[in-house]
Amino acid sequence: MKLVILGASGGCGRHLVEQAVGRRHEVTAVARASSSLDVPTGARTLRGDLTSVAFLRDAVRGQDAVLSALGLRLPGIAPWQRPVDPDFLDRSTAALVEAMGAEGIRRLVAISAGGVGDSHDAVPAAFRAFIAVSALRSVYPALGRMERALLASALDVCICRPTGLTDEPATGRAVVARAIVGRGAIPRADVAAWMLDEVARPAFAAKTPMITVTGAAGAPPRR
Ligand SMILES: NC(=O)c1ccc[n+]([C@@H]2O[C@H](COP(=O)([O-])OP(=O)(O)OC[C@H]3O[C@@H](n4cnc5c(N)ncnc54)[C@H](OP(=O)(O)O)[C@@H]3O)[C@@H](O)[C@H]2O)c1
């Protein structure tokens, strides 16, 4: 497939690019000009303003699908910390919806987070409390707005909601979870693999699946 990967410089984005190239997709890795971007041989890179409709139209033109690993950069998780560019996701989502619509590209797999939107009650109370008192309290509403804008658009979207991201090696054990018990965690490499599996399906199985490796309610304990 011809895949464009937005946020290719981020934790999940890097895995997406590497794995997509490994799966023999035609990959365009997109990031802003200042990003540190190191892509494997075979991937095309494109740099520019991720909130510009004109730039995003150039990026998505002629592609089969878009994978977005964009998120808000946080200087830290302490309660007083705020995202560096708090409305970046609002602006980039609006521009992406317009750009994809204008270019006739419909399929998008993006990343939100477990606990956003109607998954709020599906994560442990302790984690909900952590969201409320940490810097996540400004990130979660932004992810919620991103979800709502994408779901209200005419695009064919799958917005996965991973649990806590880690940099552990891929396990190949990501599952869709209805609820999380205990510590929900998933390596970024597994998120990328899950997204690439999903984008290759003829139709998305769900619009906002929560994905995890540990903590899925009802799953057998891992040894
Ligand atoms: N951390 C967790 O435990 C966790 C759990 C669940 C879900 N999530 C969500 O998962 C997503 C991916 O996580 P991650 O760790 O892979 O994210 P990350 O490493 O922070 O990557 C974020 C990406 O967004 C880009 N970006 C941020 N602000 C930008 C701006 N103003 N202009 C252009 N690009 C911008 C970054 O580019 P630069 O490299 O140029 O900054 C980077 O490519 C995030 O939305 C996060 O909220 C995180």
Question: Can you give the three-state secondary structure of 42-107, one letter per residue?
Answer: CCEEEECCCCCHHHHHHHHCCCCEEEECCCCCCCCCCCCCCCCCCCHHHHHHHHHHHHHHHHCCCE
pLDDT score of 193 more than 80: yes
Residue pLDDT, tens place only, 7-34:
999 999 999 999 999 999 999 999 999 9
What pLDDT was estimated at residue 14?
Answer: 98
What pLDDT was estimated at residue 81?
Answer: 95
Residue pLDDT, tens place only, 59-109:
999 999 999 999 999 999 999 999 999 999 999 999 999 999 999 999 999
Ligand 1 binding site (Cβ under 6 Å of any ligand atom): 7, 9-13, 31-32, 34-35, 50, 69-71, 73, 85, 88, 111, 113, 139, 162, 164-165, 188
Q: How far is the CA of 104 from the centre of ligand 1 (A)?
A: 26
pLDDT average, residue stretch 36-42: 94
| Nearest alpha carbon to residue 110 among 170, 50, 55, 53 | 50
pLDDT score of 195 more than 70: yes
Q: How far is the CA of 73 from the centre of ligand 1 (A)?
A: 6
What pLDDT was estimated at residue 218?
Answer: 76
Q: How far is the CA of 12 from the centre of ligand 1 (A)?
A: 8
Secondary structure class of 184 (helix, strand, coil): strand
Residue pLDDT, tens place only, 134-176:
999 999 999 999 999 999 999 999 999 999 999 999 999 999 9
From 94-98, 179-183, 215-219, the region with the lowest mean pLDDT: 215-219
Tell me the C-alpha distance between 171 and 137, whole Å.
30
Q: Which of 4, 6, 12 to mutate to test the pocket of ligand 1 (most atoms within 8 A of CB)?
A: 12
What pLDDT was estimated at residue 219?
Answer: 67
pLDDT score of 221 more than 80: no
Tell me the C-alpha distance between 139 and 154, whole Å.
25
Q: How far is the CA of 141 from the centre of ligand 1 (A)?
A: 15
Tell me the C-alpha distance between 37 and 33, whole Å.
9
pLDDT average, residue stretch 204-221: 90
What pLDDT was estimated at residue 222?
Answer: 54
Tell me the C-alpha distance between 223 and 47, whole Å.
43
Instruction: Check residue 109 and report its DSSP letter.
Output: E
What's the order of all strands across the beta sheet hosting 210-212? 44-47, 26-31, 2-6, 65-68, 107-111, 156-162, 210-212, 175-176
pLDDT average, residue stretch 190-212: 97
Q: Are the beta carbons of 51 and 91 closer than 8 angstroms?
A: yes
pLDDT score of 223 more than 80: no
What pLDDT was estimated at residue 35?
Answer: 95
CATH number of the domain located at residue range(s) 2-216 in this protein: 3.40.50.720
Supply the residue whose CA is at minimum distance from atom 7 of ligand 1: 113
